[in-house]
Amino acid sequence: MATEKKIAFITGGNRGIGLQTARDLGKLGIFVVIGSRDAKKGESAVSVLRSEGITVESLRCDVTNPQDHQAAHEYFHRKFGKLDILINNAGTMIGQSADKPGSVVNHTSTISPQILRQTFDANFFAPVALTQTLLPLIRKSPAGRIVNLSSILGSLTLHSQPGSPIYNAKVFAYEASKTALNAFTVHLAHELRDTPIKVNSAHPGWVKTDMGGSNAPMDIADGSRTSVQLATLPADGPTGGFFHLGEPLPW
């Protein structure tokens, strides 16, 4: 069924920043679909959000599985005929922790090919492939928005500057995958520059999540703000940028 209501799809939306983003978009009257690798966890998240008055559904989606990408396309095509907002929120950090960025040991010379491939599969290849699959539906939206959840840790500029806040946070696989995702943002935004679709990268901040750890200074309630801002940009808003709470970040 076609609908005039905005439809948003958030991968990895059953917990953490993704769940808070679903909550915040839902409060704006947007129909939210949570993508969750674990169907039961997705339904549990839906129950919580529905108890708060939010219109939401769950869709089982393992972002590393191309068959799930096609199933998602079929779901949105059949039910809504379009997709207004895609938030590529799902991601992973394998083998190292950025819980204390200033003390992370640089293991670039010894990191295994397996960790590199697994990280890039989830953080780069998966969102690229899913976006490509869903783009025909986003083109049917009058104001499509694509938000790629990146990280300030993907900034080559800041990584190469001694004294920057992330200079000593060298988690190679994760950070390189986010740098690559930022490149995807730039290239896709350029391709779509003459359309109403806007494509941006978001740094949510260092947030208290399973990945961010307990030492993070930001609460989950604030970690969704950048994603929500970029998902609801006005027609004159930016595209092809890298942002945190409305402020541009260096590539």
b/e sequence 69-95, b meaning 16+ C-beta within 10 Å: beebbebbeebbebbbbbbbbbbbbbb
**Which residue of the set 174, 184, 206, 243 is catalytic?**
174
Instruction: Give the chain as a DSSP string.
Output: ---SS-EEEEETTTSHHHHHHHHHHHHTT-EEEEEESSHHHHHHHHHHHHHTT--EEEEE--TT-HHHHHHHHHHHHHHTS--SEEEE------S---SSGGG----TTT--HHHHHHHHIIIIIHHHHHHHHHHHHHTTSTT-EEEEE--GGG-HHHHTSTTSTTTT---HHHHHHHHHHHHHHHHHHHHTTTSS-EEEEE---SBSSTTT-TT-SB-HHHHTHHHHHHHT--TTS--S-EEETTEE---
**Is 174 a known active-site residue?**
yes
Rg over alpha carbons for the chain, rounded to the nearest Å, is 17
* N-term to C-term CA, the chain: 41
Q: Which residues are catalytic?
A: 174
